[in-house]
Amino acid sequence: MKAVSHTFEDIELPKPSPAGRDLLVKVAAVSVNPVDFKQRKAAPPSPARVLGWDAAGVVEAVGSGVTLFKPGDEVYYAGDVTRPGCDSEFHLVDERIAGRKPKKLDFAQAAAIPLTAITAWEAFHDRLKVRKDRSMLIIGGAGGVGSIGIQLAKIAGLEVTATASRPESIAWVKALGADRVLDHRKPLPEQLGKPVDYIACFTDLDPYWAPIGEMIAPQGGIVAIVGTSTPLPTDAIRLKSATLCWELMFTRPRFQTPDMIEQHRLLNTVAEWLDAGKLRGTLKEKLAPISGANLRKAHERVESGTMIGKLVLEGWS
């Protein structure tokens, strides 16, 4: 089967066979996220490693323990960072972390959704346990996670403030439902005014840590998705008895947690909402076909830090 290595080489690999609860998926489209270039940089030059943790495709075959899907079903999923990624023509994924592809979205549109939707959903509902009629600040509102996060926060009944700086990114987050937009290039506390009940930092935490301490309300909740590079002082949030949570959407599959199937369930709900028009897709840029050259371009684009929404690669040459 065709595949692309972490060094952007077009390679041929044996077609895998499903066992247990695995689905063998014929991959139609993949999306690129920051985890891709971070994993690429952490990997040794050899042996070849296949990256990619956002895909949509068709179930080709199933393992003996599969009960949720059958061959021919269209699926979308983010996968498991401890296993080979989806930048390959065929890919194995545990059925418990795959969802039914939204019927009204094509494969490229669907591939843009899973990792970011799982991240935002778990951040809000499993980590912060948000309650309606509260306020939230989303730092990194125009990015992949922020784009779906704004929408999920509004569905949860929150008043949402998001950060963005360029005219096109400001227009994007407003269109997604943000009630207010703050310019992250300027001091945030002065723009925000009143502290908020929740803060979701969907970008590097370090540069925002000090203002987060000012902006979080007493007994509020903070969720972050990127680890810190330096020790951070905790007095500001400690004095407010604020909760700090970490969200990593790979935790459930990595540790095979008993509630791993929750990712299947939430992806099905997200698909239903997308089909009903309750959510809108976040695909902004597309490349074709899936190849080493195009994946290199995609990594460079995402790594630039200027992406709005999601970038997807579709089809095999």
Q: What is the pLDDT of residues 287-308, one digit of tens each?
A: 999 999 999 999 999 999 899 9
DSSP collapsed to 3 states, the chain: CEEEECCCCEEECCCCCCCCCEEEEEEEEEEECHHHHHHHHHCCCCCCCECCCCEEEEEEEECCCCCCCCCCCEEEECCCCCCCCCCECEEEEEHHHEEECCCCCCHHHHHCCHHHHHHHHHHHHHHHCCCCCCEEEEECCCCHHHHHHHHHHHHCCCEEEEECCCHHHHHHHHHCCCCEEECCCCCHHHHHCCCEEEEEECCCCHHHHHHHHHHEEEEEEEEECCCCCCCCCCHHHHHCCCEEEECCCCHHHHHCCCCCCHHHHHHHHHHHHHHHCCCCCCEEEEECCCCHHHHHHHHHHHHCCCCCCEEEEECCC
CATH class of 2-113+255-314: alpha beta
Share of the chain above pLDDT 70, in %: 100
Task: Kindly state the average pLDDT of the residues 150-169.
Answer: 97
Instruction: Give the tens place of pLDDT for each residue, 176-222.
Output: 999 999 999 999 999 999 999 999 999 999 999 999 999 999 999 99
| Amino acid 252: pLDDT | 98
> What value does the mean pLDDT take over residues 266-272?
98
Average pLDDT over residues 119-145: 98
CATH number of 116-246: 3.40.50.720
pLDDT beyond 90 at 46: no
> What does the pLDDT read at residue 133?
97
CA angle 202/311/167 to nearest 5° reads 65
- Confidence at residue 45, expressed as pLDDT on a 0 to 100 scale: 80
pLDDT of amino acid 188: 97
pLDDT averaged over every residue in the chain = 97
Alpha-carbon gap, residue 129 to 198, rounded angstroms? 10
Contact call for residues 7 and 296 (beta carbons, < 8 A): no
Q: Exposure string (b/e) for 48-63, b if CB count within 10 Å is 16 or more?
A: ebbbbbbbbbbbbbbb
What are 292's two structure tokens? 């080493």
Q: Where are the domains of the chain?
A: 2-113+255-314, 116-246
Q: Which amino acid is at 307?
A: M
Which pLDDT band holds residue 2 (cuts at 50, 70, 90)? very high
Confidence of residue 115 (pLDDT cuts 50, 70, 90): very high
Residue with tokens 């360029």: 166
